[in-house]
């Protein structure tokens, strides 16, 4: 059978399948549902095509090729963006990065507190990842979010996005407002062929008096054993070296039983020396270990398995967008609408926007410090985060349940 006939043959084979009925119809939006209007040419990200249907289609195409003696088509990896036209050197230097001077007021010798983290991560990516390339930093409505600033309040934000064979997306964000606020945030999404946790990094400093740090292999599943490779036993010896990074987070924004591992590095502290002495080496170790985990894990061969991992990454994005503790900061500096577009359509681009919008409360330093007890004066407060609203889809004669 010739390749040009495969799509027709597979379509005929799938024609009686009820899973395809309504798969390409527009979903209905009802009261209380999540809303999303996003033009996209990526079939795997389109809200009108079920990932399980695509997986079934790919499996049947591969099966037809095997019966015909042809080489099977490679399984497509969902969620990947088109490469940027920029070279790596051009992308690295966008908007003057890495910055050498702060945009805001400072009395510090090293006002850009987390820029060494940015520099080290970029160098590590260039030296360690396969086919590393930049991808566009824009929302799905084609709004460029690679840079923004508030000249009056002396605050600016820069975003870079990259991809490699190992990772479908690595985004890096730096927020600079002088000594008032410094933030470095990065998320590494493994290619969906790898049923592995997402690497999440969130480092914040306020007035050089209060610091918050989270570095974690954020699990896609409730049970560690449901991942392709277990990993907490590898992280435990690293975490054991750093007593200052063994705190517990506040439940103001997050439920630490969802999308957080038992070996998460968490710290809230007032001694800035911890950034260089503990946080920086621990961060480096976690990043290196995550890449080692990806490289040592066999890629999935089943389109259905890959689609399942991608759906779990989508669930991670929705959970994280609804609870982003920096939402209030972004809204106050760049406006509520920009903050919502930025968080829902860029930072967590697979997420689905809630009608209630973002939680704009300021970041909390809740939870006990390392060695402390729960329930202290700076513990969790306020209402719990709102529960995600289930997405309403057009009725189908039959479908595979979605996560």
Lowest model confidence (mean pLDDT) among 160-164, 208-212, 234-238, 354-358: 354-358
47 pLDDT band, cuts 50/70/90, is very low
What residues form DSSP beta bridges with 184? 174, 203
What pLDDT shows up at residue 249?
67
Lowest model confidence (mean pLDDT) among 25-39, 203-217, 229-243: 25-39
132 pLDDT band, cuts 50/70/90, is very high
Q: Is the separation of the CB atoms in 335 and 301 below 8 Å?
A: no
Residue 53 tokens read as 């249907």
d(CA 376, CA 396): 51
Q: What's the mean pLDDT in 157-175?
A: 97
87 pLDDT band, cuts 50/70/90, is very high
Backbone φ and ψ for 280, nearest 5 degrees, come out as: -65, -50
Q: Is the separation of the CB atoms in 206 and 177 below 8 Å?
A: no
- Which contiguous run of DSSP H or E holds residue 268? strand 265-269
d(CA 189, CA 220): 11
- The helix-helix angle for 232-239 and 280-296 (nearest 10°) equals 160
Exposed, middle or buried by CB within 10 Å (0-12, 13-18, 19+), for 353? Answer: buried
Q: How confident is the prediction for the chain on average, in pLDDT?
A: 77
Q: What's the mean pLDDT in 154-169?
A: 97
Exposed, middle or buried by CB within 10 Å (0-12, 13-18, 19+), for 253? Answer: buried
d(CA 348, CA 320): 7
142 pLDDT band, cuts 50/70/90, is confident
Query: Strand locations in 73-154, DSSP E?
Result: 133-134, 147-150
The residue that leads in pLDDT, 39 or 127, is 127
- The helix-helix angle for 6-14 and 51-67 (nearest 10°) equals 120
pLDDT at 14 over 60: no
d(CA 376, CA 45): 43
Separation in Å, CA 245 to CA 82, 91, 242, 325: 37, 33, 6, 19
List Cβ neighbours of 227 (8 Å cut-off, separation of 6 or more). Answer: 195, 196, 197, 219, 220, 221
pLDDT at 33 over 80: no
Q: What's the mean pLDDT in 315-335?
A: 87
Separation in Å, CA 31 to CA 344, 390, 394: 19, 11, 14
What pLDDT shows up at residue 259?
64
216 pLDDT band, cuts 50/70/90, is very high
Most confident among 195-199, 254-258, 362-366 (mean pLDDT) = 195-199
Query: Which value, in Å, is the radius of gyration of the alpha carbons in the chain?
Result: 22
What pLDDT shows up at residue 306?
95
Does the reported pTM lie above 0.85? no
Nearest CA-CA partner of 184 in 202, 211, 158: 202
324 pLDDT band, cuts 50/70/90, is confident
Lowest model confidence (mean pLDDT) among 46-55, 71-80, 205-214, 385-394: 385-394
Q: What's the mean pLDDT in 85-114?
A: 96
- Which contiguous run of DSSP H or E holds residue 185? strand 181-190
């Amino acid at each position: 059978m010739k390749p040009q006939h495969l799509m027709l043959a597979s379509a005929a084979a799938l024609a009686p399948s009820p899973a395809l009925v309504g798969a390409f119809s527009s979903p209905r939006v009802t009261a209380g549902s999540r809303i999303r209007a996003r033009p996209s040419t990526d079939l795997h990200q389109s809200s009108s095509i079920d990932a399980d249907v695509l997986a079934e289609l790919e499996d049947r195409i591969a099966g037809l090729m095997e019966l015909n003696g042809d080489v099977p088509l490679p399984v497509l990896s969902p969620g990947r963006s088109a490469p940027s036209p920029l070279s790596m050197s051009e992308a690295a230097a966008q908007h003057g990065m890495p910055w050498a001077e702060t945009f805001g007021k400072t009395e510090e010798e090293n006002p850009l507190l987390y820029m060494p983290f940015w520099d080290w991560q970029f160098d590590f990516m260039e030296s360690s990842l396969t086919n590393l390339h930049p991808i566009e930093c824009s929302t799905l409505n084609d709004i460029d979010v690679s840079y923004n600033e508030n000249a009056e309040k002396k605050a600016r934000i820069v975003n870079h996005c990259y991809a490699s064979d190992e990772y479908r997306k690595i985004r890096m964000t730096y927020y600079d407002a002088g000594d008032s606020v410094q933030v470095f945030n990065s998320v590494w999404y493994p290619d969906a062929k790898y049923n592995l946790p997402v690497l999440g990094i969130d480092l914040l400093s306020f007035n050089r008096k209060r610091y918050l740090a989270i570095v974690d292999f954020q699990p896609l599943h409730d049970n560690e054993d449901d991942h392709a490779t277990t990993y907490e036993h590898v992280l435990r010896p690293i975490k054991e070296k750093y007593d200052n990074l063994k705190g517990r987070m506040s439940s103001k924004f997050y439920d630490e039983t969802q999308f957080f591992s038992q070996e998460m590095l968490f710290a809230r502290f007032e001694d800035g020396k911890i950034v260089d002495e503990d946080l920086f080496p621990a961060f480096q170790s976690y990043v290196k270990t995550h890449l080692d985990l990806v490289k040592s894990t066999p890629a999935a061969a089943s389109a259905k398995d890959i689609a399942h991992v991608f759906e779990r990454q989508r669930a991670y994005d929705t959970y994280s967008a609804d609870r982003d503790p920096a939402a209030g900061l972004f809204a106050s500096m760049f406006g509520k609408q920009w903050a919502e577009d930025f968080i829902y359509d860029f930072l967590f681009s697979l997420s689905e926007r809630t009608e209630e919008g973002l939680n704009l409360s300021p970041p909390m330093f809740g939870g006990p410090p390392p060695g402390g007890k729960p329930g202290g004066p700076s513990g969790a407060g306020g209402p719990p985060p709102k529960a995600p609203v289930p997405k309403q889809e057009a009725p189908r004669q039959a479908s595979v349940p979605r996560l």
